[in-house]
Amino acid sequence: MRRKSSLVLLAFAVFFATLSPMLRWYAFPRLVKVPPSEYQVAVLEAKNATLVDYAALTAKKVSSVSIVQTLRGNVREAERVKADTGRDVVVWDALSYVVGPDGKMVSEIPERYVFDAHTQEPVHAAGEMVDGDPVTRQGIEFKFPFSTQKRDYYYFDAQSRTSAPIHYAGTQKFHGMKVYYFEQTLPWTRVPLPKKLPEIAPGAPAITPQEVKAIGIERWYTTKRMFWVDPVTGAPVNGEEIHTEELRFPASSHHAPVTAFAGDVKMRPDYVDHIVHLVKSQRQLVLLMTSYLPWGFGGLAALLLALALVLEARGRRPADPLGEDAADRDPSPDRDPVPV
């Protein structure tokens, strides 16, 4: 009986020992993914910023500039791309909407970002764009991969339409969470003007990029980008940019550059709290697949193996001389003595 029990325990130990790494290295990469219908809004602010007045082409100080970033999962497009490529993808239609202190639009830049739902690697498909311009992204944008590593990643910059390394710069504590801090600095780069610009006067038509270009003005930009990333989900729980844009005139005009925008752009505190709360709930589901269940099943397998070995060892002990075998050999007091 003990031998049968030890074999059953050994079988269960082998089962859980096999299941432990399979959950982490086989099931996790295939089951955990970004949902295709996700919808997120974040508001960032730059206090005491500098903003251009397009009517006078001069820079002015303003109390604040707000940037509303919206990410909307496009399920229909994701299904179309999956049918074309055979890959499980997410399509995010993003919008960066910049608002001045008077509540009026300064600029808006739409994007379409197509990426692998499991790895966050970009997937190149028709419709991938920034502000209507087709792009071919290299590297991540908006979100880091699940199980983010302490290393550099390529990060796509929507302003310049280029990718550059974003550097891991240490581990920090943020709102009670262990986060990885990443930093990227882009040098001065010539970038396109947004296709949608504000009105130069109330009731007047909005200024167009073509009109700005006709004057010979170029837009240049530099930024220091910072992210605090939850390494489990790869979701940034905070972001900041020290951002500067200039309008540069032809050398023949002898006109000094005009600051189009300059400010320290930070995520608004109430949105930080919301995102931290959301990420804390989601990270438990990822940890279940990457840590809790694999380690739990591994520990259970070790316990079952130990119990199986104990039962097997007890089953192999020599028989007790006073046990059943000895009783069968010794004459019983109730039996007749054997004649000699």
The pLDDT assigned to 23 comes to 75
Sign of CA dihedral 5, 8, 10, 12: negative
The pLDDT assigned to 330 comes to 53
The pLDDT assigned to 337 comes to 54
Q: What is the pTM of this model?
A: 0.83
- C-alpha angle 281/284/285, rounded to 5°? 100
What DSSP designation does 145 have?
A: P
The pLDDT assigned to 340 comes to 44
**pLDDT truncated to tens, each residue of the chain (340 aa)?**
566 777 777 787 788 788 778 877 777 777 888 999 989 999 999 999 999 888 788 899 999 999 999 999 999 999 999 999 999 999 999 999 999 998 888 889 999 999 999 999 999 999 999 999 999 999 999 999 999 999 999 999 999 999 999 999 999 999 999 999 999 999 999 999 898 888 776 666 667 777 777 778 899 999 999 999 999 999 999 999 999 999 998 888 788 999 999 999 999 999 999 999 999 988 888 888 888 777 888 888 788 778 877 777 777 766 555 555 544 555 555 555 555 4
The pLDDT assigned to 146 comes to 93
- The answer to whether the beta carbons of residues 96 and 241 sit under 8 Å apart is no
The pLDDT assigned to 217 comes to 87
